[in-house]
Structure 1
Amino acid sequence: MIDSRHPFLDEVIHLLGHQLGPSVPMWLHPVMHVVLVWAPLALAAVGLYFLAKALWNNARARTRLLPSKRTHKQGEAGIYGFVLSYSARQQAILIVAGLLSLPILYATLELPKLIINNALSEARPESLIDRLGFTETTLLFVLSGLYLLAIAANGLAKYWLNVRKGRVGERLLRRLRLTIFRHWQRRSHGERDTEVIPLITQEIEPIGGFAADAFAVPVFQGGTLATILFFMFLQDPILGAAALTLLPVQLALIPKIQQRVNALTRTRVSGTRAFGRELGAVLQDNGAPHSSGLGSPIRKRIRFLEEVRERIYRWKFFQKALNNFLTSLTPFFFYSIGGYLVLEGRLTIGALVAALAAYKDISAPLRELFQYYQVREDVKIRYTALQDFIHGARRQTGYEELVGLGSMERRTA
């Protein structure tokens, strides 16, 4: 029993299949508490918060849409409906291909452990060598060759998925551009005609990019994350829990900081556009750029842009430093808890090394999922405003909101 003063922790350890004796060092007690008690509770709390937030936002969105009574099909279907309407078969192929690549990913995690435990370790199971009829050297090269094939297949699978996603996104982007152009040709022209050029060339490109990732990224990156965690939990449940220890902190802080960076970026873009308008006004008033000098509004705008960029740098690199620190801190739990389990003979050194190597791959799918969520929220606004432009809506939601700059433009202009 780890400590009679911690009966709940003792029960948790029993449930995970461990029985730590009285020789466990005292410094390991708080580490076990953090990994097995507080971190899971924090992760559950963060998950409930995001679920409640999603349900609340969905209810508010439905409430806002009721009075408008929009009848056009694409507006009701939304961005996901648009993607499925024109690429359902391609999306299904991407999802199936992503799922089929997950066993290959698992093989790239499992084979290094087999190499260490079965081909290099002095305590290797001799029955495996006898059963396969291999010498120790032959077994090493066979497992190494399988590992080489696995990483090559994993790389080819990712390459194929990325190329296929790019093709799907470009085809949907072409359809969007043709739709915008045809609607613009059929409608009566007016003051919004100048909006069609940036809209059809640049502003809808994120919609095409998201269309390629709409279903493939959650399935593939979520499956990658689940596969890595599944592998860790198979090595030892405590190691799997250790991999999730700092995830609640990342989920709570990183998206908030990224939202701040995004807001500042939109402010910088809108400020740059306002700066261009002011320069254009100076050119019209004075006839030549050299005769205008640097007026007070121009100097203020340049100073404003400098301050915004400095704030972007501070938040952006703070986010990067925090994420790197949290990512580097998690191996402490592997070394402390996993090392103790190895010394006690409850975990092989190969399993610990494989878990450490697998953890390095966790940050990539997490980053992709965070980015997917942020892009989705932006694209939903762009797509709704795109429908307003196509169907001639004259509500407040207009072109400025399409590029995510409406309220920011009014505050900075």
Structure 2
Amino acid sequence: MSLLERYHLFVHRVASIIGYNYDDSAPEWIRPFVHLILTLAPSFLLGVLIYLGIRFLLSSARSPRKEALPELVAIQGAEPNLFKAVLAHSLRPQLIMIALSLTALPILYATLELPKLIVNNALDSNRFPVSFIGWEFDQVSLLMLLCGLYLVAIFASGLNKYVLNTFKGFVSERFLRRLRLAIYRHWRFREHSSETRDVFPVLAQEVEPIGGFAANLLTLPVLQGGTLLTIMLFMFVQDPLLGAAALSVLPIQIILLPKLQRHLNRLARTRIHEVRALGTHLRRSGLASAQQGQEIRSVAASLKELERIRRRIFRLKFFVKALNNFLTSLTPFLFYSLGGYFVIEGRISLGALVAVLAAHKDFSAPLKDLFAYYQQVEDSRIRYKEIFLFFRRHGDVVKPTTTGKCKALRDFKNEDHPLPCRRMSQRSGANPVC
């Protein structure tokens, strides 16, 4: 038996395992789809996952590079590691949000299952009256019952989202207030002076996305990852072949989109530096000095560079969006072609196909959110690091004091004390006092 014949025999066996009798009587046009869905796409996905796993293990096996930030500058009340900082101040709220996220998953499955029951059992059925938990229903009564249950499910889903998003907003603002207070305390009572206006964009715009990340640190991957798994489970229950079709373009998205997002993050970091440079040039250009003309030219050059960076960001950002939309739209094509053929052959019901199509519409949203979360992690980590590097560039290279405990740290955790910590002169050798 040749290798090609063995391959075809393997595909037939895989198809029979999932309940599809794929033999010589199948139409010719369906054969490429079956090979793509059952062998090529899963093999590609498995290879991608193995590559990412090996890459993760190798990066973990290397000796971790020590962070230079605590040795260069210490912001009292702010942990140099962003993830530790978030968990140190919001662990209990994070657990509450995880519980709310897990509660949303069975509600989601109900909102996917009930439309199928409405189409198959109430609209496209001749078995009436039907008995349900000891009650008999005619066609209209059963339709109203299922629609009422669907209304309850979508109301519960909306209520869960409202409570979760509101709680996330509280967690985000609480962490932002802590971080801004720590930055202000360090800037106000540090040993080396820097320009007052330089700290304004740090306190206002640059820390804002970090607050959103603090609320999404654990909640978003749990909620959106659970949503993705719930939708996949629902599609596989309806038909394993259609469920496998939903994963056919996933390997391409896993490979291409993160690489493009990393390039987008580098451009965003370059834009942050350019905005700060523009602020410096604007401040200096307002002063009467011999270099005023040179500073005005520097402002013009900085504005031109900002325009160039923003144009590159727009091009790359919308290319990523268009590519993701195109890849996501390929799967419904498989559903319409394969699913329509299965409905004609009687393999699945029309309600199941409609439910699978509706589920895949929701399938792309959590996938986009997970890719956006990856971008948010990198962006927030870079922004948080830039806050420490900001004080380093302004001459604050003081190591954290090891003797004496400053009351400001306790006040920062308790959030009640309005007075910042003041240091006595280092030359006197005194410990920090409040």
Q: Counterpart of 2:339 in structure 1: which amino acid?
A: G
Contact (CA 8 Å) 1:246, 1:330: kept in 2 or not? yes
Moved more, 52-61 or 200-209: 52-61
In the other structure, the counterpart of 1:137 is 140
Deviation string, structure 1 residues 110-153 (Cα, Å, up to 9, x no partner): 00000001001136687556964000010001101111111111
Q: Counterpart of 2:241 in structure 1: which amino acid?
A: I
In the other structure, the counterpart of 1:63 is 65
Contact (CA 8 Å) 2:176, 2:211: kept in 1 or not? yes
Moved more, 76-85 or 230-239: 76-85
In the other structure, the counterpart of 1:407 is none
> CA shift at 1:293, angstroms?
12
> CA shift at 1:179, angstroms?
2.4
CA gap of 1:306–1:390, structure 2 versus 1, over 3 A, is closer
In the other structure, the counterpart of 2:150 is 147
Q: Tell me how far apart the structure 1 counterparts of residues 72 and 127 of structure 2 sit (CA, whole Å).
A: 68
Contact (CA 8 Å) 1:117, 1:124: kept in 2 or not? no
Q: Is there any run of 5+ residues in structure 1 with no aligned partner, and where?
A: 396-413
In the other structure, the counterpart of 2:16 is 14
> CA shift at 1:41, angstroms?
1.2
Q: Does 1:37 align with 2:62?
A: no
1:3-402 to structure 2, matched below 5 A, reads: 6-59=8-61, 62-65=64-67, 78-122=81-125, 132-191=135-194, 195-278=198-281, 281-284=284-287, 301-384=302-385, 386=387, 393=397
CA gap of 1:151–1:30, structure 2 versus 1, over 3 A, is same
> CA shift at 1:180, angstroms?
2.6
Contact (CA 8 Å) 1:117, 1:123: kept in 2 or not? no
CA gap of 1:220–1:61, structure 2 versus 1, over 3 A, is farther
Secondary structure of the residue aligned to 1:63 is coil
Contact (CA 8 Å) 1:75, 1:384: kept in 2 or not? no
Contact (CA 8 Å) 2:72, 2:398: kept in 1 or not? no
> CA shift at 1:213, angstroms?
0.8
Taking structure 2 as the reference length, the TM-score comes to: 0.79
Q: Tell me how far apart the structure 1 counterparts of residues 372 and 269 of structure 2 sit (CA, whole Å).
A: 16
Moved more, 293-302 or 331-340: 293-302
Moved more, 178-187 or 73-82: 73-82
Contact (CA 8 Å) 1:74, 1:387: kept in 2 or not? no
Secondary structure of the residue aligned to 2:31 is helix
> CA shift at 1:380, angstroms?
2.6
Q: Tell me how far apart the structure 2 counterparts of residues 390 and 283 of structure 1 sit (CA, whole Å).
A: 24
Secondary structure of the residue aligned to 2:65 is helix
Deviation string, structure 1 residues 305-332 (Cα, Å, up to 9, x no partner): 4443333332222222211111111111
CA gap of 1:124–1:5, structure 2 versus 1, over 3 A, is farther
Q: Counterpart of 2:194 in structure 1: which amino acid?
A: E
CA gap of 1:262–1:70, structure 2 versus 1, over 3 A, is closer
CA gap of 1:183–1:211, structure 2 versus 1, over 3 A, is same
> CA shift at 1:273, angstroms?
4.3
Contact (CA 8 Å) 2:253, 2:324: kept in 1 or not? yes
Taking structure 1 as the reference length, the TM-score comes to: 0.82
Q: Tell me how far apart the structure 1 counterparts of residues 119 and 176 of structure 2 sit (CA, whole Å).
A: 49
CA gap of 1:131–1:329, structure 2 versus 1, over 3 A, is farther
RMSD over equivalenced CA pairs, Å = 3.5
Deviation string, structure 1 residues 243-279 (Cα, Å, up to 9, x no partner): 1111111111122222333333443444444445445
Q: Tell me how far apart the structure 1 counterparts of residues 286 and 91 of structure 2 sit (CA, whole Å).
A: 51
CA gap of 1:252–1:118, structure 2 versus 1, over 3 A, is same
CA gap of 1:394–1:126, structure 2 versus 1, over 3 A, is farther
Secondary structure of the residue aligned to 2:137 is coil
CA gap of 1:212–1:301, structure 2 versus 1, over 3 A, is closer
Contact (CA 8 Å) 2:129, 2:138: kept in 1 or not? no
Deviation string, structure 1 residues 175-232 (Cα, Å, up to 9, x no partner): 2222233344443232376654333333222222211111111111111111111110
- Identical-residue share of aligned pairs (%): 48
Q: Tell me how far apart the structure 2 counterparts of residues 304 and 389 of structure 1 sit (CA, whole Å).
A: 21
Q: Tell me how far apart the structure 2 counterparts of residues 76 and 293 of structure 1 sit (CA, whole Å).
A: 40
Secondary structure of the residue aligned to 1:362 is helix
Q: Tell me how far apart the structure 2 counterparts of residues 20 and 349 of structure 1 sit (CA, whole Å).
A: 21
Higher CA-based Rg: 2
Aligned residues: 390
CA gap of 1:123–1:359, structure 2 versus 1, over 3 A, is farther
Q: Is there any run of 5+ residues in structure 2 with no aligned partner, and where?
A: 400-434
> CA shift at 1:355, angstroms?
0.4
Contact (CA 8 Å) 1:75, 1:387: kept in 2 or not? no
